[in-house]
Structure 1
Amino acid sequence: MAGSSPSNAAFTDRTMVVSGGSRGIGLAIALGAARHGANVVLLAKTAEPHPKLPGTVHTAVAEVEAAGGKGVAVVGDVRNEDDVMRAVDTAVERFGGIDIVVNNASAIATEPTENLTAKKFDLMMDINVRGTFLLTKAALPHLRESAARTQGANQATRTQGASGIAAHVLTLAPPLNLNPHWLGAHPSYTLSKYGMTLLSLGWAAEYDGTGIAFSCLWPQTYIATSAVSNLADGDDLVKASRRPDIMADAAVEIFDKPAAEANGQCYIDADVLTAAGMTDLSRYGGGDNPMWDIFVDKS
């Protein structure tokens, strides 16, 4: 990691809730925080092994604890308000509050408009937009308390320690790139992901000054997840993809920023790490020319 990464004490007793954290980027971010001592509550649907997807929410918790954090699994659907409230209540009951929310759960369908079913359209809107709204809304009272505790502990200068990490809501969504290429590539999926971004930017304005940071994080390149490997040309795509660790390391850097600095920002993972002093990203794989992700213009 970059030299500015926080000490383990910075995440001690800090609690994160992650949606869709059984595998992939969500799990990587959970592990990144767990390595610094965080508590992690994972809300995910996969309670039993899936033939095409590695891991379950229970194996994910085992990985969190092996990494040095404390973990709890909540089997549920981010689209379901009761399940979301159960995850939030579990975090409060087990760990005393919520300091970080990661809106990771997402659905993708990139078929042309005439081929896209209404069912898939609804699924993307329900998971991506509704799920982000439900989890953030449910956590907000506890994030307010977290922000108040942090601000009280750091009245004059920001300190490292149990109160070092500000309250954050990190949403895995892209910057609002209005390049016609991206607008026309898959309008319905774009609507759902930009909807997540707009919610984050809107909350950043709505809750400005409260000590809660609302920001977005998006990968510069394809990330080697099951969603990529299960595509028809998945083997080749994985070779040109960076590992999920790059998103985890970028997220940890963001969580270490003061709320006022991170609030309202849309980050690209590589840019975060470069700004933190990491000059060589080859450790994350992807070869000499990793494949750029959607919504990201090379120029």
Structure 2
Amino acid sequence: MTFQNRTIFITGASRGIGEAIALKLAAAGANIVIAAKSVEEDPRLGGTIFSVAAAVESAGGKALPIQVDIRDEAQIQQAVQKAADTFGGIDVVINNASAIQLTNTEQTPAKRFDLMYDINVRGTFLVTQHCIPYLKKGNNPHILTLSPPVNITPQWLGPHVAYTISKYNMSMLTLGWAEELKSYGIAANSLWPATTIATAAIKNLLGGDAIIKVSRKPAIMADAAYYILDKPAASCTGNNFIDEAVLKAEGITDLAHYAVTPGGRLQPDLFL
């Protein structure tokens, strides 16, 4: 399989893991649609759709930055249509956009609960829904959603149940799409990291520089996504993948270079 001229629609790709995936696939010749909200840089987070577009072009891909809030269905429809009009279709959709609130039930305001469901669940559903007509005609069409394997062990539900169930909903959507769309040859899989990943969001939410030092670089998720999306869609679907397991299946067992602190301790992800 090749990524040359395949069009990849990525939500939340203005920074972090989404940006890393965009650059990895751009280097392989893909057309990258950067569908995200940020058009002005937030100093706490960094990155905009335009800065990523410039990096995509430098990496060898073609970029289409589109400002879109996936809580707004009209904006989704316009973004998907613009992507298809620009590149002649959509071959892959990556549901990377997500909202996080690591609080218990009493400390989770309704507006934060609604935000997580509007982005993580409803937004993921609607982005995929509007991309499906193009995926049906796509080149090795894949849906890849960044969400964890469903694990209903109480220890993962108790600390931040609202966030947890929103992410599990994304994984359940994935499993549903794998069954619903298999007759069209459209793959649906999820991907999640085995460890925390060094992004601005993790730094701001989970403990500053200390958490970054025990994390892996976003490149490990980008490399794992590359291998998943390179597989034939008809035979690679319905999986809740973990990044390091994907790489090990490809014969890549030395993962030391992905660590922010080579040889140091790594922090397991929240759900693993």
Aligned to 2:215: 241
What TM-score results when the alignment is normalised by the length of structure 2? 0.97
Counterparts of 1:17 and 1:232 in 2: how far apart (Å)?
28
Counterparts of 2:163 and 2:192 in 1: how far apart (Å)?
15
Instruction: Say which SS state the counterpart of residue 195 (structure 2) adopts.
Output: coil
Aligned to 2:252: 278
Query: Structure 1 residue aligned with 2:78, among 78, 81, 86?
Result: 86
Answer yes or no: is 1:136 the counterpart of 2:128.
yes
Counterparts of 1:214 and 1:221 in 2: how far apart (Å)?
23
Aligned to 2:6: 14
Structure 2 unaligned segments of length 5 or more: list them.
none
Query: Structure 2 residue aligned with 1:261, among 225, 231, 235?
Result: 235
Identity of aligned pairs, percent? 51
Instruction: Say which SS state the counterpart of residue 34 (structure 2) adopts.
Output: strand
Alignment of 1:29-108 (within 5 A): 29-108=21-100
Instruction: Say which SS state the counterpart of residue 145 (structure 1) adopts.
Output: coil
Instruction: Say which SS state the counterpart of residue 66 (structure 2) adopts.
Output: strand
Answer yes or no: is 1:221 the counterpart of 2:213.
no
CA deviations on 1:31-75 (whole Å, 9 max, x unpaired) are 111010000011111111112111111101101111110001101
Aligned to 1:113: 105
Could you tell me how far 1:232 is from its partner in structure 2?
Answer: 6.4
Counterparts of 1:226 and 1:82 in 2: how far apart (Å)?
29
Counterparts of 1:56 and 1:137 in 2: how far apart (Å)?
25
Alignment of 1:179-190 (within 5 A): 179-190=153-164
**What letter matches 1:293 in structure 2?**
D
Give the RMSD, CA atoms, in angstroms. 1.1
Could you tell me how far 1:244 is from its partner in structure 2?
Answer: 0.3
Counterparts of 2:271 and 2:153 in 1: how far apart (Å)?
8
Counterparts of 1:80 and 1:125 in 2: how far apart (Å)?
13
Query: Structure 1 residue aligned with 2:175, among 190, 201, 206?
Result: 201
Instruction: Say which SS state the counterpart of residue 46 (structure 2) adopts.
Output: coil
Counterparts of 2:133 and 2:49 in 1: how far apart (Å)?
26
Instruction: Say which SS state the counterpart of residue 72 (structure 1) adopts.
Output: strand
Instruction: Say which SS state the counterpart of residue 184 (structure 2) adopts.
Output: coil
CA deviations on 1:64-100 (whole Å, 9 max, x unpaired) are 1111100011011011111111211111111000000
Could you tell me how far 1:209 is from its partner in structure 2?
Answer: 2.5
Counterparts of 1:265 and 1:186 in 2: how far apart (Å)?
24
Instruction: Say which SS state the counterpart of residue 209 (structure 1) adopts.
Output: helix
Counterparts of 2:147 and 2:37 in 1: how far apart (Å)?
21
Counterparts of 1:49 and 1:264 in 2: how far apart (Å)?
36
Counterparts of 1:83 and 1:200 in 2: how far apart (Å)?
23
Counterparts of 2:75 and 2:194 in 1: how far apart (Å)?
32
Q: Which runs of 4+ in 1 moved over 4 A?
A: none
Instruction: Say which SS state the counterpart of residue 185 (structure 1) adopts.
Output: coil
Q: State the number of aligned residues.
A: 270
**What letter matches 1:25 in structure 2?**
I
Could you tell me how far 1:286 is from its partner in structure 2?
Answer: 4.1
Counterparts of 2:162 and 2:218 in 1: how far apart (Å)?
25
CA deviations on 1:253-287 (whole Å, 9 max, x unpaired) are 00111113321001000000011011110111144
CA deviations on 1:155-204 (whole Å, 9 max, x unpaired) are xxxxxxxxxxx100000000001211102121100110011111111111
Counterparts of 1:92 and 1:41 in 2: how far apart (Å)?
10
Counterparts of 1:55 and 1:100 in 2: how far apart (Å)?
23
Aligned to 1:289: 265
CA deviations on 1:217-245 (whole Å, 9 max, x unpaired) are 00000000011122363101000000000
Counterparts of 1:251 and 1:69 in 2: how far apart (Å)?
16
Instruction: Say which SS state the counterpart of residue 170 (structure 1) adopts.
Output: strand
Counterparts of 1:261 and 1:289 in 2: how far apart (Å)?
36
